[in-house]
């Protein structure tokens, strides 16, 4: 027997891309009730009917001998997958129906078998028509009505006729003696397919409530669907609560890696950083974006050394690309952590990769802090040569300081004069010119005295 399976639930997460699948198996009509009818007391009644003349009025809920014989034949042909032949036998029953020779029960059974045979052959429109014929029959039992509405709604769902599916499932809920969690789930998924997310949420919630009341497990797909619905209506607080339950119950990597993003959406940044850290400790972060986000969280949480270690390990593992941006960020983390020597190497590599001189300017300042003034000056010169600097005047002033440390006062004064071209640095540049001029005079005096002393003791 063939089964049609629908698997079409696609998550859309504002800014985030998250995919979840809810599998909907359409129930196939089985012989529930038929075996009992044919093998039980009603068969005995049918046999007795063959031994005596039929009464003028037969019960509307019994099958006659003629009907039992044909239904047996239909089932045998169906089980042999001779569907055309089975339908031909059923057409003989239909002739009695057209002549109004069938009672209510027989009419119901006839349409059930039509629906069954059509459904097996995936002739869903004809199966739907058969179920609709059953709905207009008089004297239907509670069980018959529930079963018909359930199958009719399911077939509409298979046909992606979601509005009709919802209509029949809602009718089912209105008359059902017991709540059916599957019906609530299917209504919710049908609304999801129609992108009517607010309407879908209460039905999925009700599905979960019924399962909990029965002490039955709720599937991961159901949690994912409800979370997706909350995302689509931008109810991130509720989405977070559902995600927390899912993490505890299923402990899947996809939920762990989604958790920091959801915490970010609800602006719980401290918990977001902690979540990234735990997720990484569990080995669930395995993409560049995830590791860089973790590093950024550590940086923002005043843990720059941890940030640098995450970036460095990600690069050594081949997960984080060693491009200019990532290398520059790694250097920044080490620099803020006061690990200047470790900050210099990645920044040197980043500076070569970039077209502007900003990274060289930063590198010059790092070397200046390390008191490697020759390298500092070389880096500042490269920064100015590459150009496209936000504040070249600041670079000139930093270079003037390094040149002063190297006793290259004339070059330092020239650099300070260049900084003076920007009015924002005019006062500072003039101060540096004054300082450099005095230092040059002091240095020249000391050097002259040394020469004179050297000549005196010669």
| End-of-domain residue from the set 89, 109, 140 | 140
pLDDT at residue 455, rounded to an integer: 67
Specify the higher pLDDT residue, 37 or 221. 221
Query: What domain range includes position 164?
Result: 1-25+143-229
Tell me, yes or no, whether 371 and 389 share the same domain. Answer: yes
pLDDT of res. 9: 28
* 114, 140, 166 - which closes a domain: 140
Q: How confident is the model at residue 280 (pLDDT cuts 50, 70, 90)?
A: confident
pLDDT of residue 451: 78
Of the segments 183-192, 387-396, 434-443, which one has the largest average pLDDT value?
Answer: 183-192
Q: Are 95 and 36 within one domain? A: yes
For residues 415 and 38, which has the higher predicted lDDT (pLDDT)?
A: 415
pLDDT digits (tens, 9 = 90+) for 131-170: 999 999 988 889 999 999 999 999 999 999 999 999 999 9
Three-state helix/strand/coil letters over the chain: CCCCEECCCCCCECCECCCCCCCEECCCCCCCCHHHHHHCHHHHHHHHHHHCCCCCCCCCCCCCHHHHHHHHHHHHHHHCCCHHHHHHHHHHHHHHHHCCCCCHHHHHHHHHHHHHHHHHCCCHHHHHHHHHHHHCCCCCCHHHHHHHHHHHHHHHHHCCCHHHHHHHHHHHHHHCCCCCHHHHHHHHHHHHHCCCHHHHHHHHHHHHHHHHHCCCCCCHHHHHHHHHHHHHCCCHHHHHHHHHHHHHHHCCHHHHHHHHHHHHHCCCHHHHHHHHHHHHHCCCCCCHHHHHHHHHHHHHCCCHHHHHHHHHHHHHCCCCCCCHHHHHHHHHHHHHCCCHHHHHHHHHHHHHHCCCCHHHHHHHHHHHHCCCHHHHHHHHHHHHHHCCCCCHHHHHHHHHHHHHHCCCHHHHHHHHHHHCCCHHHHHHHHHHHHHHHHHHHHHHHHHHHHHHHHHHCC
Domain membership of residue 182 (yes or no) is: yes
Co-location of 61 and 209 in the same domain: no
* Inside any domain, residue 435: yes
The reported pLDDT for the residue numbered 457 is 63
Is there a domain that residue 51 lies in? yes
Q: Write down the pTM of the prediction.
A: 0.66
187 lies in the same domain as 53: no
Query: Higher-confidence residue: 51 or 319?
Result: 319
Residue 328 lies in a domain: no
Whether residue 272 lies inside any domain: the answer is: no
Q: What is the pLDDT of residues 244-267, one digit of tens each?
A: 999 999 999 889 989 988 998 898
Average pLDDT, stretch 315-341?
93
Does residue 6 share a domain with residue 37? Answer: no
Residue 203 lies in a domain: yes
pLDDT above 70: residue 199: yes
113/168 same-domain check:
no
pLDDT value of residue 22: 31
Is the domain of 53 the same as that of 110? yes
Q: What is the pLDDT of residue 302?
A: 85
Per-residue model confidence as pLDDT tens digits over 169-194: 999 999 999 999 999 999 999 999 99
148 and 121 in a common domain: no
Out of 204, 229, 254, a domain closes at 229
How does residue 357 score in pLDDT terms, banded at 50, 70 and 90? very high
User: Residue 394: which CATH number?
Assistant: 1.25.40
Q: Are residues 156 and 170 in the same domain?
A: yes
- Confidence check: pLDDT of 320 > 90: yes
Residue 252 lies in a domain: no
**For residue 72, what pLDDT is reported?**
92
Q: Is residue 51's pLDDT more than 90?
A: no
**Least confident segment among 133-142, 196-205, 392-401:** 133-142
Clarify whether residues 173 and 119 are in a common domain. Answer: no
Residues 35 and 12 in one domain: no
Dump pLDDT digits (tens) for 108-132.
999 999 999 999 999 999 999 999 9
Highest mean pLDDT among 22-26, 293-297, 393-397: 393-397
* Confidence category of residue 45, pLDDT binned at 50, 70, 90: very low
Task: Count up the domains in the chain and report the number.
Answer: 3
Residues 13 and 62 in one domain: no
Instruction: Read off the pLDDT band of 59 (50, 70, 90).
Output: low
pLDDT score at 458: 61
Within-domain flag for 269: no
User: Is the pLDDT score of 408 beyond 50?
Assistant: yes
């Amino acid at each position: 027997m063939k089964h049609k399976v629908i698997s079409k639930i696609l998550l859309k997460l504002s800014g985030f891309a998250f995919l979840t699948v809810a599998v909907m198996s359409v129930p196939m009509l089985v012989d529930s009730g038929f075996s009992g009818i044919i093998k039980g007391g009603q068969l005995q009644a049918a046999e007795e009917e063959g031994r005596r003349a039929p009464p003028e009025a037969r019960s509307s809920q019994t099958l006659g001998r003629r009907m039992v014989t044909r239904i047996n034949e239909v089932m045998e042909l169906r089980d042999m997958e001779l569907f055309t032949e089975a339908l031909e036998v059923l057409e003989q029953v239909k002739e009695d129906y057209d002549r109004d020779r069938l009672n209510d029960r027989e009419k119901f059974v006839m349409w059930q078998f039509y629906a069954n045979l059509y459904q097996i052959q995936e002739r869903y429109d004809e199966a739907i028509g058969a179920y609709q014929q059953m709905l207009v029959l008089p004297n239907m039992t509670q069980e018959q009505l529930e079963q018909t509405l359930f199958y009719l709604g399911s077939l509409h769902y298979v046909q992606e006729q979601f509005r009709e599916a919802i209509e029949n499932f809602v009718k089912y809920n209105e008359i059902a003696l017991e709540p059916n969690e599957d019906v609530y789930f299917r209504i919710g998924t049908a609304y999801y397919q129609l992108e009517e997310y607010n309407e879908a949420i209460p039905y999925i919630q009700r599905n979960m409530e019924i399962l909990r009341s029965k002490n039955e497990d709720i599937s991961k797909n159901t949690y994912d669907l409800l979370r997706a619905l909350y995302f689509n209506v931008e109810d991130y607080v509720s989405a977070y609560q559902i995600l927390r339950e899912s993490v505890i119950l299923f402990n899947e990597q996809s939920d762990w890696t989604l958790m920091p993003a959801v915490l970010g959406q609800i602006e719980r940044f401290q918990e977001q950083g902690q979540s990234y850290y735990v997720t990484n400790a569990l080995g669930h972060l395995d993409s560049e974006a995830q590791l860089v986000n973790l590093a950024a969280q550590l940086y923002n949480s005043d843990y720059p050394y941890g940030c640098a270690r995450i970036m460095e390990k990600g690069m050594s593992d081949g997960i984080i690309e060693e491009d200019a941006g990532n290398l520059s960020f790694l250097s920044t983390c080490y620099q803020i952590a006061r690990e200047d020597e470790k900050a210099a190497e990645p920044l040197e590599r980043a500076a070569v990769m970039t077209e502007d001189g900003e990274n060289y300017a930063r590198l010059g300042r790092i070397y200046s802090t390390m008191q490697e003034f020759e390298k500092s000056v070389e880096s500042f010169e490269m920064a100015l040569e590459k150009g496209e600097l936000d504040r070249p005047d600041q670079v000139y002033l930093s270079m003037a300081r390094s040149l002063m440390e190297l006793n290259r006062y004339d070059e330092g004064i020239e650099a300070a004069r260049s900084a003076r071209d920007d009015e924002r640095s005019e006062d500072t540049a003039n101060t540096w010119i004054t300082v450099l001029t005095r230092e040059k005079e002091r240095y020249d005096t000391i050097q002259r005295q040394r020469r004179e002393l050297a000549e005196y003791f010669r």
